[in-house]
Amino acid sequence: MAFKHPQYLVDTDWLAGHLNDSDIRVLDCTAFNRSDGSGGVRAVSGRDSWAKEHIPGSVHADLVNDLSDKSASFRYMMPPAEQFADAMSSYGVGAGTRTVLYDSTSGSWATRIWWMLRAFGFDDAFILNGGLHKWKSEGRPVTTDPSTYPPAVFRAKPRAGLIADKSEVLAALGQESTCVLNALSEEQHIGTGGANYGRPGRIADSVNVPAGDLMDPITHAYLTPEELAKRFAQVGVDAAERVIAYCGGGIAASNDAFILTLLGYENVAVYDASMSEWAADASLPMQTG
């Protein structure tokens, strides 16, 4: 079995061979989750981590400071189109460029920005399979040298259907045509541990494929297409017409959504506010166990 859309995933050999191509842009998307002191988590920028080591030529894409809506009630929400376009333009991303995304942790920070690019109409973006971990494990070079790309013109063309809100998720509950998919850990899904965002457990009737289980724990590369397809099919994702992925704040959910896109699922959305919003509203149904 092969991915239906393998073009969105590149390996380290490919990047090493194309790193100096004039149209290649490499974005280090690293951020880090830290406890917020109340049972949840908050992200902190990975810019300092990028400064200490990064793939040569890469620039840091700052989700926390550049690519989140500062006026939103919840963290890391999709920014206005103009803000996103300005940030991408400053990174050198725009028409005529090919953009490779990676991070140094779970892969989900990279897939979050990949999903944002997709939602704003940009398709020439790719995830580096295995991220910085795999790149370094193969003895490939890293550097502390600062780097920039020439400014570009990024034109945001928002696409409908890729970002879901609370009302759509609520309407989907109990509907066989839509699968609500939790990308958080199993212990968070059943409510026995991990960050709980105010209430433990999951959105009622949702199913669970943890984003953390999509990768080989040694190489950090994604599992085989066969194994990934099996994991989603086991919880009934393959029977749905539409899938809405969620997590704590739209980060891990983007990893599930990315893999579903590789597998050929064409009607996938990320619930942007996710459990940060849902668990905070006592009127919204949740389950444990």
Cβ count near 200 (within 10 Å): 20
DSSP 147: -
Strand partners, 32: 44
**What is the pLDDT, as a whole number, of residue 120?**
99
CB of 255 closer than 8 Å to CB of 106: yes
Q: Which domains does the chain have, with CATH numbers?
A: 6-137 (3.40.250.10), 163-287 (3.40.250.10)
Which residue's structure tokens are 């850990």? Answer: 185
Question: How many beta carbons lie within 10 A of that of residue 157, not counting itself?
Answer: 11
**Amino acid, single-letter form, for residue 215:** M
289 residues of the chain, pLDDT tens digit each: 999 999 999 999 999 999 999 999 999 999 987 777 766 677 889 899 999 999 999 999 999 999 999 899 888 899 999 999 999 999 999 999 999 999 999 999 999 999 999 999 999 999 999 999 999 999 999 999 999 999 999 999 999 999 999 999 999 999 999 999 999 999 999 999 988 888 999 999 999 999 999 999 999 999 999 999 999 999 999 999 999 999 999 999 999 999 999 999 999 999 999 999 999 999 999 999 9
The predicted pLDDT at position 43 comes to 81
Which amino acid type is present at position 274? S
Return the pLDDT at 157. Answer: 98
Question: Strands (DSSP E) along the chain, which ranges?
Answer: 9-10, 24-28, 31-35, 41-45, 59-60, 98-102, 125-128, 163-164, 178-182, 202-203, 207-208, 242-246, 268-271, 286-287
Alpha-carbon distance of 128 to 96, in angstroms, equals 19
Using CA atoms, how far apart are residues 104 and 90, in angstroms rounded to an integer? 22
118: closest CA among 158, 85, 91, 81?
A: 158
Tokens of 96: 């005529």
Residues with Cβ within 8 Å of 65's Cβ and at least 6 positions away in sequence, in order, are 45, 47
> What pLDDT, on a 0 to 100 scale, did the predictor assign at position 34?
79
pLDDT value at residue 39: 64
CA separation, residue 230 to residues 36, 96, 106, 264 (Å): 35, 36, 21, 14
Three-state DSSP at 13 gives helix
- pTM value is 0.97
pLDDT at 198: 87
Per-residue confidence (pLDDT) for residue 44, from 0 to 100: 84
- Indicate the residue type of 185: S
pLDDT of 97 reads: 98
